[in-house]
């Protein structure tokens, strides 16, 4: 299974805090690999994930297979280089350690779409697929990703290593029971009531982001603010930072910003029309052609900012960045 949802929607917490403990209760050994842990080296991310997975089992006095496993694991990091092709065998060795001495494994691959960002990472994807296939009787896998476009490249491109190997499902938004839970926790910690309806409204108005609403309530408790409207006003003015969005925005070309501003509008017209390219030309003060717009879209796609959802239809991938673009319309 491959789970898609944009960032800050709770995918990682689902893997590590919900799914992994349940799987361990059923006797699976769990290994969480985050391919953003080291963006320059997916192999190092795999080795780090294996090390974390085995750390609890390899604590204390080691005898028998545990001693051998510890020695083998300790030597893997020393083998890593800056050459992805040479390191692939090390990744395979690391994953093999999860199979010792026996039992089943739940492998959780977070931000798996990162393997589609560089040509040299294709060999890592192929090796990972091979290992999973070779051990399919003992290994269960859950992939997650925050880029729909890159996930499609991994799982729906016939030339990709993971083609047709997993169904892509959308991670569902939290529902009203989540708002009730937060309301109850807020009252338990502060002895002040907060209506679940109000919590749900704030949650929905801010892209249904669990991270946002939890941070908001934490700030309210810290600052002694017990009105949700006042809390939102304070939080948006003092706590929410757009530093990451600003950095992305400032590194974009002028035309890229204009294209994003166009895509951020609801019910925008045709992007490649003569009328729209004339608008871009007037704003820039130089002729803009449809091929220049296409090049802009490709740059934005490569940076995982936009996704092609159907022929000629493009969307901004991250709803928070879309909100930022609307507020900073070029």
DSSP symbols for 257-289: HHHHHHHHSTT---TTSHHHHHHHHHHHTS---
Q: What pLDDT was estimated at residue 214? A: 93
- Look at phi and psi of residue 64 and say left if phi exceeds 0, alpha if psi is from -120 to 50, else beta: left
Supply the pTM of this predicted model.
0.72
Helix axes 228-238, 196-205, angle to 10 degrees: 30
Low-confidence ranges of the chain (pLDDT < 70): 57-85, 239-241, 268, 310, 330
- CATH code linked to domain 2-170: 3.40.50.300
- The pLDDT tens digits of the residues spanning 69-105 come to 665 666 666 666 666 667 788 888 889 888 887 889 9
Q: What pLDDT was estimated at residue 153? A: 82
Q: What pLDDT was estimated at residue 323? A: 85
Does 252-327 carry CATH code 3.30.70? no
Q: What pLDDT was estimated at residue 59? A: 56
Is-contact 209 320, C-beta < 8 A? Answer: yes
Is-contact 170 10, C-beta < 8 A? Answer: no
Q: What pLDDT was estimated at residue 66? A: 55
By DSSP bridging, strand 139-145 and strand 104-110 are parallel
């Amino acid at each position: 299974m491959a789970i898609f949802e944009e960032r800050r929607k709770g995918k990682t917490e689902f893997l590590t805090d919900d799914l992994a403990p349940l799987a361990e209760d059923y006797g699976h050994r769990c290994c969480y690999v985050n391919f953003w842990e080291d963006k320059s080296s997916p192999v190092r991310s795999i080795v780090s994930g294996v090390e974390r997975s085995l750390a609890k089992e390899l604590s204390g006095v080691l005898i028998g297979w545990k001693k051998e496993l510890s020695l083998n694991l300790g030597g893997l990091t020393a083998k890593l280089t800056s050459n992805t092709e040479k390191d692939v065998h090390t990744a395979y060795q690391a994953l093999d350690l999860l199979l010792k001495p026996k039992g089943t494994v739940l492998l959780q691959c977070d931000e798996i779409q990162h393997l589609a960002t560089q040509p040299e990472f294709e060999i890592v994807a192929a090796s990972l697929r091979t290992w999973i296939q070779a051990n399919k009787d003992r290994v269960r896998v859950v992939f997650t990703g925050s880029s729909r476009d890159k996930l499609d490249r991994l799982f729906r491109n016939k030339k990709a290593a993971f083609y047709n190997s997993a169904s892509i499902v959308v991670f569902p938004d939290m529902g009203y029971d989540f708002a009730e839970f937060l309301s109850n926790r807020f009252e338990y910690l502060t002895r002040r009531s907060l209506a679940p309806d109000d919590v749900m409204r704030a949650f929905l108005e801010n892209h249904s982001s669990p991270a946002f609403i939890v941070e908001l309530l934490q700030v309210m408790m810290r600052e002694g603010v017990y009105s949700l409207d006042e809390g939102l006003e304070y939080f948006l003015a003092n706590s929410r930072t757009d530093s990451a969005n600003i950095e992305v925005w400032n590194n974009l070309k002028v035309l890229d910003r204009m294209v994003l501003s166009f895509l951020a509008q609801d019910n925008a017209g045709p992007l490649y029309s003569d009328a729209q390219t004339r608008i871009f030309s007037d704003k820039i003060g130089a002729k803009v052609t449809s091929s220049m717009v296409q090049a802009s879209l490709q740059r934005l796609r490569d940076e995982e900012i936009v996704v092609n959802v159907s022929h000629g239809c493009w969307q901004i991938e991250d709803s928070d960045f879309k909100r930022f673009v609307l507020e900073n319309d070029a």
